[in-house]
Protein backbone atom coordinates (compact mmCIF):
# COMPACT_ATOMS: atom_id res chain seq x y z
CA UNK A 1 0.00 0.00 0.00
CA UNK A 2 0.95 3.64 -0.44
CA UNK A 3 0.42 5.13 3.00
CA UNK A 4 0.77 8.76 4.06
CA UNK A 5 1.57 9.17 7.74
CA UNK A 6 0.70 12.58 9.22
CA UNK A 7 2.39 13.27 12.54
CA UNK A 8 3.56 16.49 14.14
CA UNK A 9 6.35 14.46 15.78
CA UNK A 10 8.79 12.11 14.12
CA UNK A 11 12.38 10.89 14.22
CA UNK A 12 14.79 12.08 15.60
CA UNK A 13 12.11 12.81 18.22
CA UNK A 14 11.35 9.67 20.26
CA UNK A 15 7.83 8.48 19.54
CA UNK A 16 6.21 5.12 18.81
CA UNK A 17 5.40 6.29 15.30
CA UNK A 18 9.07 5.81 14.38
CA UNK A 19 8.84 2.09 15.09
CA UNK A 20 5.53 1.78 13.26
CA UNK A 21 6.85 3.47 10.12
CA UNK A 22 9.97 1.30 10.06
CA UNK A 23 7.90 -1.87 10.47
CA UNK A 24 5.41 -0.92 7.74
CA UNK A 25 8.31 -0.36 5.36
CA UNK A 26 9.75 -3.76 6.28
CA UNK A 27 6.37 -5.27 5.46
CA UNK A 28 6.57 -3.92 1.93
CA UNK A 29 4.49 -0.74 2.12
CA UNK A 30 5.48 2.56 0.53
CA UNK A 31 5.48 5.10 3.35
CA UNK A 32 5.64 8.88 3.23
CA UNK A 33 5.69 10.86 6.47
CA UNK A 34 4.44 14.45 6.65
CA UNK A 35 5.87 16.02 9.79
CA UNK A 36 7.47 19.13 11.27
CA UNK A 37 10.92 20.21 12.33
CA UNK A 38 12.13 18.20 15.36
CA UNK A 39 11.89 20.28 18.55
CA UNK A 40 10.26 17.99 21.15
CA UNK A 41 10.55 18.07 24.11
CA UNK A 42 13.18 20.79 24.60
CA UNK A 43 11.26 23.42 22.66
CA UNK A 44 13.94 24.42 20.15
CA UNK A 45 14.78 22.86 16.80
CA UNK A 46 17.45 20.16 17.13
CA UNK A 47 20.90 21.50 16.28
CA UNK A 48 21.76 18.46 14.13
CA UNK A 49 18.68 19.09 12.02
CA UNK A 50 19.44 22.80 11.61
CA UNK A 51 22.99 22.03 10.49
CA UNK A 52 22.06 19.30 8.00
CA UNK A 53 18.29 19.04 7.37
CA UNK A 54 18.74 16.90 4.27
CA UNK A 55 20.11 14.11 6.49
CA UNK A 56 16.62 13.75 7.99
CA UNK A 57 14.66 13.39 4.73
CA UNK A 58 14.48 9.58 4.88
CA UNK A 59 14.03 7.11 7.70
CA UNK A 60 14.35 3.32 7.43
CA UNK A 61 13.21 3.43 3.80
CA UNK A 62 10.37 5.92 4.33
CA UNK A 63 10.32 9.35 2.66
CA UNK A 64 10.06 12.21 5.17
CA UNK A 65 8.50 15.52 4.16
CA UNK A 66 9.05 18.29 6.71
CA UNK A 67 7.31 21.65 6.95
CA UNK A 68 8.40 24.76 8.83
CA UNK A 69 6.67 25.49 12.12
CA UNK A 70 7.05 27.54 15.28
CA UNK A 71 9.01 25.51 17.87
CA UNK A 72 7.33 24.72 21.20
CA UNK A 73 9.46 27.10 23.25
CA UNK A 74 8.16 27.60 26.79
CA UNK A 75 4.76 28.62 28.11
CA UNK A 76 1.21 27.69 27.22
CA UNK A 77 0.72 30.38 24.55
CA UNK A 78 3.85 29.33 22.70
CA UNK A 79 2.69 25.70 22.80
CA UNK A 80 -0.68 26.61 21.29
CA UNK A 81 1.06 28.58 18.54
CA UNK A 82 3.27 25.56 17.91
CA UNK A 83 0.18 23.41 17.39
CA UNK A 84 -1.50 25.93 15.11
CA UNK A 85 1.63 26.61 13.06
CA UNK A 86 2.09 22.94 12.21
CA UNK A 87 -1.57 22.50 11.26
CA UNK A 88 -1.44 25.50 8.92
CA UNK A 89 1.99 24.74 7.47
CA UNK A 90 1.22 21.07 6.87
CA UNK A 91 -2.14 21.94 5.29
CA UNK A 92 -0.75 24.56 2.91
CA UNK A 93 2.90 23.79 2.27
CA UNK A 94 2.58 20.08 2.96
CA UNK A 95 -0.13 19.77 0.33
CA UNK A 96 2.10 21.55 -2.17
CA UNK A 97 5.15 19.41 -1.34
CA UNK A 98 3.06 16.25 -1.81
CA UNK A 99 1.55 17.37 -5.13
CA UNK A 100 1.40 14.65 -7.74
CA UNK A 101 1.66 11.85 -5.19
CA UNK A 102 -1.17 9.39 -4.71
CA UNK A 103 -1.96 7.45 -1.53
CA UNK A 104 -4.23 4.54 -0.68
CA UNK A 105 -4.73 5.63 2.93
CA UNK A 106 -3.74 8.32 5.43
CA UNK A 107 -2.69 7.35 8.95
CA UNK A 108 -2.70 10.08 11.61
CA UNK A 109 -0.64 9.75 14.80
CA UNK A 110 -2.18 11.89 17.57
CA UNK A 111 -0.50 11.83 20.96
CA UNK A 112 -1.44 15.56 21.05
CA UNK A 113 -2.43 17.90 19.53
CA UNK A 114 -5.68 16.91 17.86
CA UNK A 115 -5.06 19.69 15.31
CA UNK A 116 -2.81 17.23 13.45
CA UNK A 117 -6.09 16.02 11.96
CA UNK A 118 -6.66 19.25 10.02
CA UNK A 119 -3.92 18.78 7.40
CA UNK A 120 -4.98 15.13 7.12
CA UNK A 121 -8.52 16.26 6.23
CA UNK A 122 -7.17 18.67 3.63
CA UNK A 123 -5.08 15.89 2.11
CA UNK A 124 -8.02 13.50 2.23
CA UNK A 125 -9.92 15.89 -0.04
CA UNK A 126 -6.96 16.40 -2.38
CA UNK A 127 -5.85 12.76 -2.56
CA UNK A 128 -9.27 11.13 -2.16
CA UNK A 129 -7.71 8.88 0.46
CA UNK A 130 -9.44 7.59 3.63
CA UNK A 131 -8.15 8.52 7.10
CA UNK A 132 -7.35 6.28 10.07
CA UNK A 133 -6.87 8.53 13.11
CA UNK A 134 -5.07 7.04 16.14
CA UNK A 135 -6.23 8.84 19.30
CA UNK A 136 -3.60 8.68 22.04
CA UNK A 137 -4.75 11.83 23.83
CA UNK A 138 -8.28 13.10 24.34
CA UNK A 139 -9.02 16.75 23.64
CA UNK A 140 -10.32 19.01 25.15
CA UNK A 141 -10.11 16.96 28.36
CA UNK A 142 -6.31 16.83 28.50
CA UNK A 143 -5.96 20.57 27.86
CA UNK A 144 -8.10 21.28 30.90
CA UNK A 145 -6.39 18.61 33.03
CA UNK A 146 -2.88 20.04 32.66
CA UNK A 147 -4.06 23.65 32.91
CA UNK A 148 -3.04 24.71 29.39
CA UNK A 149 -6.58 26.01 28.78
CA UNK A 150 -8.99 27.06 31.53
CA UNK A 151 -11.54 29.10 29.61
CA UNK A 152 -14.82 27.21 29.25
CA UNK A 153 -15.50 29.09 26.02
CA UNK A 154 -12.21 28.01 24.46
CA UNK A 155 -12.69 24.43 25.69
CA UNK A 156 -16.12 24.41 24.05
CA UNK A 157 -14.60 25.62 20.77
CA UNK A 158 -11.95 22.89 20.96
CA UNK A 159 -14.67 20.30 21.60
CA UNK A 160 -16.43 21.38 18.40
CA UNK A 161 -13.10 21.19 16.55
CA UNK A 162 -12.60 17.63 17.78
CA UNK A 163 -16.07 16.67 16.57
CA UNK A 164 -15.29 18.23 13.19
CA UNK A 165 -12.09 16.16 12.86
CA UNK A 166 -13.43 12.83 14.15
CA UNK A 167 -16.50 12.96 11.91
CA UNK A 168 -14.31 13.32 8.82
CA UNK A 169 -12.19 10.30 9.65
CA UNK A 170 -13.03 6.88 8.22
CA UNK A 171 -11.68 5.03 11.26
CA UNK A 172 -10.94 6.42 14.72
CA UNK A 173 -8.54 4.22 16.69
CA UNK A 174 -8.82 4.41 20.50
CA UNK A 175 -5.77 3.60 22.64
CA UNK A 176 -7.87 2.37 25.58
CA UNK A 177 -11.35 0.98 26.03
CA UNK A 178 -12.28 4.00 28.14
CA UNK A 179 -11.41 6.21 25.17
CA UNK A 180 -14.09 4.46 23.13
CA UNK A 181 -16.82 5.77 25.41
CA UNK A 182 -15.49 9.33 25.24
CA UNK A 183 -14.97 9.30 21.47
CA UNK A 184 -18.44 7.88 20.86
CA UNK A 185 -19.89 11.10 22.26
CA UNK A 186 -18.07 13.14 19.62
CA UNK A 187 -18.62 11.07 16.50
CA UNK A 188 -21.75 10.51 14.44
CA UNK A 189 -21.02 6.84 13.64
CA UNK A 190 -19.64 4.86 16.63
CA UNK A 191 -19.12 1.86 14.32
CA UNK A 192 -16.03 3.64 13.00
CA UNK A 193 -14.33 3.49 16.43
CA UNK A 194 -11.77 0.69 16.81
CA UNK A 195 -9.90 -0.36 19.96
CA UNK A 196 -6.19 -0.16 19.12
CA UNK A 197 -3.77 0.02 22.08
CA UNK A 198 -0.08 0.79 21.98
CA UNK A 199 2.16 -2.24 21.66
CA UNK A 200 5.05 -3.48 23.71
CA UNK A 201 8.44 -3.36 22.04
CA UNK A 202 9.99 -6.78 21.37
CA UNK A 203 11.49 -8.28 24.49
CA UNK A 204 15.20 -7.95 25.08
CA UNK A 205 16.83 -10.10 27.71
CA UNK A 206 18.13 -7.43 30.03
CA UNK A 207 20.66 -9.84 31.43
CA UNK A 208 22.51 -9.64 28.09
CA UNK A 209 22.39 -5.82 27.93
CA UNK A 210 25.22 -3.64 29.18
CA UNK A 211 24.41 -1.29 32.06
CA UNK A 212 24.02 2.34 30.96
CA UNK A 213 27.41 3.96 31.63
CA UNK A 214 25.68 7.25 32.49
CA UNK A 215 24.47 5.72 35.76
CA UNK A 216 26.77 4.43 38.48
CA UNK A 217 25.92 0.87 39.45
CA UNK A 218 24.67 0.72 43.06
CA UNK A 219 23.57 -2.74 44.04
CA UNK A 220 23.29 -1.57 47.63
CA UNK A 221 20.35 0.64 46.64
CA UNK A 222 16.86 -0.10 45.36
CA UNK A 223 16.85 1.65 41.98
CA UNK A 224 13.54 3.06 40.74
CA UNK A 225 13.76 4.09 37.08
CA UNK A 226 11.39 6.47 35.28
CA UNK A 227 11.60 6.93 31.50
CA UNK A 228 9.84 9.39 29.24
CA UNK A 229 8.38 12.87 29.30
CA UNK A 230 8.87 15.05 32.38
CA UNK A 231 5.78 17.22 32.17
CA UNK A 232 2.71 18.42 34.02
CA UNK A 233 0.82 15.17 33.53
CA UNK A 234 3.47 13.02 35.23
CA UNK A 235 2.90 14.63 38.64
CA UNK A 236 6.51 14.78 39.79
CA UNK A 237 5.36 16.93 42.68
CA UNK A 238 3.82 13.84 44.27
CA UNK A 239 6.85 11.72 43.37
CA UNK A 240 9.10 14.21 45.15
CA UNK A 241 6.95 14.10 48.27
CA UNK A 242 7.35 10.31 48.32
CA UNK A 243 11.10 10.55 47.70
CA UNK A 244 11.42 13.12 50.48
CA UNK A 245 9.62 10.79 52.90
CA UNK A 246 12.04 8.01 51.93
CA UNK A 247 15.23 10.04 52.04
CA UNK A 248 16.65 7.65 54.67
CA UNK A 249 15.56 4.48 52.83
CA UNK A 250 18.07 2.78 50.49
CA UNK A 251 16.20 3.99 47.39
CA UNK A 252 17.56 5.86 44.36
CA UNK A 253 15.35 7.51 41.73
CA UNK A 254 16.75 7.54 38.18
CA UNK A 255 14.93 9.84 35.73
CA UNK A 256 15.60 9.15 32.04
CA UNK A 257 13.97 11.83 29.90
CA UNK A 258 13.19 15.51 29.88
CA UNK A 259 10.35 17.91 29.18
CA UNK A 260 8.69 21.12 30.19
CA UNK A 261 9.10 20.39 33.92
CA UNK A 262 12.74 19.27 33.79
CA UNK A 263 14.22 22.52 35.12
CA UNK A 264 11.61 22.70 37.84
CA UNK A 265 12.33 19.12 38.86
CA UNK A 266 16.07 19.76 39.12
CA UNK A 267 15.47 22.89 41.19
CA UNK A 268 13.06 21.08 43.54
CA UNK A 269 15.50 18.23 44.06
CA UNK A 270 18.16 20.74 45.09
CA UNK A 271 15.75 22.72 47.26
CA UNK A 272 14.72 19.58 49.12
CA UNK A 273 18.31 18.36 49.48
CA UNK A 274 17.64 15.16 47.58
CA UNK A 275 20.65 15.32 45.24
CA UNK A 276 22.01 12.05 46.64
CA UNK A 277 18.73 10.27 45.92
CA UNK A 278 18.10 11.38 42.33
CA UNK A 279 19.95 11.03 39.05
CA UNK A 280 18.65 13.08 36.12
CA UNK A 281 20.33 11.63 33.06
CA UNK A 282 18.38 13.49 30.36
CA UNK A 283 16.86 12.27 27.12
CA UNK A 284 18.05 9.22 25.18
CA UNK A 285 16.74 7.31 22.18
CA UNK A 286 14.39 4.36 22.57
CA UNK A 287 17.19 2.01 21.58
CA UNK A 288 19.02 2.98 24.78
CA UNK A 289 16.15 2.22 27.15
CA UNK A 290 17.15 -1.42 27.82
CA UNK A 291 20.51 -0.23 29.16
CA UNK A 292 18.71 1.97 31.70
CA UNK A 293 16.12 -0.73 32.47
CA UNK A 294 19.09 -2.94 33.38
CA UNK A 295 19.72 -0.70 36.40
CA UNK A 296 16.09 -0.92 37.55
CA UNK A 297 14.83 -2.86 40.52
CA UNK A 298 11.47 -1.26 39.69
CA UNK A 299 10.08 0.93 36.92
CA UNK A 300 7.96 3.97 37.80
CA UNK A 301 4.91 5.32 35.96
CA UNK A 302 2.82 8.20 37.32
CA UNK A 303 -0.02 10.43 36.16
CA UNK A 304 -1.93 13.23 37.85
CA UNK A 305 -5.27 12.64 39.51
CA UNK A 306 -7.50 13.78 36.64
CA UNK A 307 -10.45 11.95 35.02
CA UNK A 308 -8.84 12.12 31.59
CA UNK A 309 -5.67 10.39 32.80
CA UNK A 310 -7.69 7.62 34.42
CA UNK A 311 -8.85 6.75 30.89
CA UNK A 312 -5.30 6.49 29.58
CA UNK A 313 -2.83 3.63 29.37
CA UNK A 314 0.55 5.41 29.25
CA UNK A 315 2.63 3.96 26.43
CA UNK A 316 5.48 3.25 28.83
CA UNK A 317 3.33 0.68 30.66
CA UNK A 318 3.53 -1.74 27.73
CA UNK A 319 7.28 -1.20 27.47
CA UNK A 320 7.73 -1.73 31.21
CA UNK A 321 5.75 -4.97 31.12
CA UNK A 322 7.86 -6.37 28.31
CA UNK A 323 11.09 -5.23 29.97
CA UNK A 324 10.46 -7.74 32.74
CA UNK A 325 10.93 -5.43 35.69
CA UNK A 326 8.45 -4.89 38.57
CA UNK A 327 6.30 -1.79 38.15
CA UNK A 328 5.47 0.92 40.68
CA UNK A 329 2.45 2.82 39.39
CA UNK A 330 0.86 5.93 40.86
CA UNK A 331 -2.14 6.39 38.60
CA UNK A 332 -5.84 5.62 38.32
CA UNK A 333 -8.15 3.81 35.95
CA UNK A 334 -6.99 1.94 32.87
CA UNK A 335 -3.28 2.10 33.61
CA UNK A 336 -3.74 0.88 37.17
CA UNK A 337 -6.02 -1.90 35.95
CA UNK A 338 -3.33 -3.19 33.59
CA UNK A 339 -0.65 -3.20 36.29
CA UNK A 340 -2.90 -4.96 38.81
CA UNK A 341 -4.39 -7.40 36.29
CA UNK A 342 -0.96 -8.37 34.99
CA UNK A 343 0.46 -9.04 38.45
CA UNK A 344 3.56 -7.13 37.37
CA UNK A 345 3.74 -4.76 40.32
CA UNK A 346 1.88 -2.43 42.65
CA UNK A 347 -0.54 0.32 41.61
CA UNK A 348 -1.61 3.07 44.03
CA UNK A 349 -3.98 5.98 43.58
CA UNK A 350 -2.84 8.95 41.53
CA UNK A 351 -1.61 11.87 43.62
CA UNK A 352 -1.07 9.67 46.70
CA UNK A 353 2.63 9.87 47.65
CA UNK A 354 2.06 8.17 51.02
CA UNK A 355 0.76 5.08 49.26
CA UNK A 356 3.68 5.22 46.81
CA UNK A 357 6.01 5.16 49.80
CA UNK A 358 4.20 2.13 51.22
CA UNK A 359 4.26 0.32 47.85
CA UNK A 360 7.96 1.01 47.37
CA UNK A 361 8.79 -0.27 50.84
CA UNK A 362 6.59 -3.31 50.26
CA UNK A 363 8.48 -4.09 47.07
CA UNK A 364 11.76 -3.64 48.93
CA UNK A 365 10.67 -6.39 51.33
CA UNK A 366 9.91 -8.98 48.64
CA UNK A 367 12.26 -11.88 48.10
CA UNK A 368 13.83 -12.77 44.76
CA UNK A 369 11.24 -15.39 43.86
CA UNK A 370 8.38 -12.93 44.35
CA UNK A 371 10.10 -10.30 42.21
CA UNK A 372 10.84 -12.91 39.54
CA UNK A 373 7.15 -13.81 39.45
CA UNK A 374 6.27 -10.16 38.83
CA UNK A 375 8.77 -10.01 35.99
CA UNK A 376 7.43 -13.15 34.37
CA UNK A 377 3.79 -12.13 34.80
CA UNK A 378 4.42 -8.76 33.19
CA UNK A 379 5.99 -10.26 30.09
CA UNK A 380 3.29 -12.87 29.71
CA UNK A 381 0.58 -10.24 29.98
CA UNK A 382 2.29 -7.99 27.43
CA UNK A 383 2.64 -10.85 24.96
CA UNK A 384 -1.02 -11.75 25.34
CA UNK A 385 -2.48 -8.23 25.19
CA UNK A 386 0.03 -5.88 23.54
CA UNK A 387 1.91 -8.04 21.05
CA UNK A 388 3.61 -5.78 18.54
CA UNK A 389 3.34 -8.04 15.50
CA UNK A 390 -0.32 -8.85 16.14
CA UNK A 391 -1.32 -5.20 16.62
CA UNK A 392 0.56 -3.92 13.57
CA UNK A 393 -1.05 -6.69 11.51
CA UNK A 394 -4.44 -5.50 12.78
CA UNK A 395 -3.55 -1.98 11.67
CA UNK A 396 -2.58 -3.31 8.25
CA UNK A 397 -5.99 -4.94 7.97
CA UNK A 398 -7.71 -1.67 8.88
CA UNK A 399 -5.71 0.28 6.31
CA UNK A 400 -6.30 -2.38 3.63
CA UNK A 401 -10.04 -2.21 4.25
CA UNK A 402 -10.01 1.59 4.00
CA UNK A 403 -7.84 1.49 0.89
CA UNK A 404 -10.19 -1.03 -0.66
CA UNK A 405 -13.05 1.42 -0.26
CA UNK A 406 -11.06 4.01 -2.18
CA UNK A 407 -10.36 1.64 -5.07
CA UNK A 408 -13.92 0.30 -4.99
CA UNK A 409 -12.83 -3.24 -4.16
Q: What pLDDT, in 10s, does the model give residues 293-320?
A: 999 999 999 999 999 899 999 989 999 9
Mean pLDDT of 319-343: 95
At residue 27 the predicted structure's pLDDT band, cuts being 50, 70 and 90, is very high
Bridge partner list, 63? 32, 58
Using 50, 70 and 90 to split pLDDT, how confident is the model at 409? very low
**What average pLDDT does the chain have?**
94
> Is the pLDDT reported for residue 353 higher than 90?
yes
CATH of domain 2-199+387-407: 3.40.50.2000
Q: Which ranges of 347-387 does DSSP label H, i.e. alpha helix? A: 353-364, 368-385
Assign a CATH topology to domain 206-385. Rossmann fold (3.40.50)
Compute the C-alpha angle 209/213/218, nearest 5°.
90
> How many alpha carbons lie under 13 Å from residue 230 in its C-beta half-sphere?
25
Q: Where are the domains of the chain?
A: 2-199+387-407, 206-385
Q: According to the model, what pLDDT value does residue 405 have?
A: 64
Distance between start and end Cα atoms, the chain = 14
Amino acid sequence: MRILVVSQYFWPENFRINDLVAELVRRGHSITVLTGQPNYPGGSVFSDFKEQPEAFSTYEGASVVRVAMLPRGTGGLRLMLNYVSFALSASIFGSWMLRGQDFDAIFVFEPSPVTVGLPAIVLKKLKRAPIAFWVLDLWPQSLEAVGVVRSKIILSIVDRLVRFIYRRCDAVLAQSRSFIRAISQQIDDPARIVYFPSWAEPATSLETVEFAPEVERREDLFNVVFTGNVGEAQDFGAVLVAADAMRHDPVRWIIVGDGRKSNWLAEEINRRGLEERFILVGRFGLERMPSFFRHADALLVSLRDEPIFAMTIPGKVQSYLMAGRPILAMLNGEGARVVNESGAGFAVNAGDPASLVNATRAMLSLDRSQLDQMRQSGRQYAEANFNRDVLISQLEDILHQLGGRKSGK
